[in-house]
Amino acid sequence: MAWIKPFTWIKLLVFALSLIPAGRLVVGLFTGGLGANPVEFITHTTGTFALVFLMITLAVTPLRRLTGYGSLIRLRRMLGLFAFFYTVLHLSTFVVLDHFFDPAAILQDVFKRPYITAGSVGFLLMVPLAATSTAGMIRRLGGRRWQQLHRLVYFSAIAGVVHFLWLVKADLREPLIFAGVLAVLLSYRIAVWRNAPWAKKRAGRT
């Protein structure tokens, strides 16, 4: 195994760790470990991890610039695809387990319940990002256009946080933590665009 490069090990480790929430759901499904309301449990787990992976993906560039550890960029695509993976599982739970593929009921929810509308926007914004995540698509679009398109990730994250804030009825703590993290990441981005010297430190290509 010595021929595998050290960073490949890190990538494999991050990949395995990222699969743990999905693995726990699969095990829970077969062992009855998803509590009294399994559909709710799956919806909450997949929704939460969709947002967690979005935040981690957005944190890669600032961490890379601030630490100078350039290789972190090589984890970004995989982390972004995990955000998409958990969102697809989340959406599938809604379509299959909540609404049993009933298009009328699904569309009624999408247009009548604002938090579902916000979630749908968040998901739709992720689709072009996942579809253009391959090296071939980056080449075909050209680096600059690809980067511009991938700024949509910020809007997807905003829609995801709004979705969470909107659906919570009493305890706002969890969605507010996500909102705070996103505010910090967005402020950093804005500082880079406005050429703030502290944010430009060790600035790289992205």
User: Which of 42, 50, 79, 182: binder of ligand HEM (CB under 6 A)?
Assistant: 50
For residue 43, give the amino acid letter: T
Q: How far is the CB of 46 from ligand HEM (least distance, A)?
A: 8
Residues with Cβ within 8 Å of residue 11, at least 6 apart in sequence: 74, 75, 78
Please report whether residue 18 would count as binding ligand HEM according to CB under 6 A: no
Length of the chain: 206
User: Is 28 or 66 the residue whose CB approaches ligand HEM more closely?
Assistant: 28
CA-closest candidate to residue 120, choices 183, 182, 64, 166: 166
Q: How far is the CB of 63 from ligand HEM (least distance, A)?
A: 20
Please report whether residue 122 would count as binding ligand HEM according to CB under 6 A: yes
Q: How far is the CB of 13 from ligand HEM (least distance, A)?
A: 24
Helix, strand and coil percent figures for the chain, each rounded to 5: 80, 0, 20
Please report whether residue 91 would count as binding ligand HEM according to CB under 6 A: yes
Please report whether residue 47 would count as binding ligand HEM according to CB under 6 A: yes
User: Is 11 or 44 the residue whose CB approaches ligand HEM more closely?
Assistant: 44
Question: Binding segment for ligand HEM among 24-32, 48-56, 62-70, 132-140 (CB under 6 A)?
Answer: 48-56
Q: How far is the CB of 31 from ligand HEM (least distance, A)?
A: 22
**Contacts (CB under 6 A) with ligand HEM, residues 155-174:** 160, 163-164, 167
Between CA 99 and CA 191 the distance in angstroms is 43
Please report whether residue 58 would count as binding ligand HEM according to CB under 6 A: no
Between CA 46 and CA 65 the distance in angstroms is 30
User: Which of 120, 129, 182, 188: binder of ligand HEM (CB under 6 A)?
Assistant: 120
For residue 52, CA distances in Å to 21, 32, 82, 137 come to: 11, 25, 10, 26
CA-closest candidate to residue 160, choices 132, 191, 185: 185
* Cβ–Cβ < 8 Å for 75, 11: yes
Residues that bind ligand HEM (CB under 6 A): 43-44, 47-48, 50-51, 54, 87, 90-91, 94, 116, 119-120, 122-123, 160, 163-164, 167
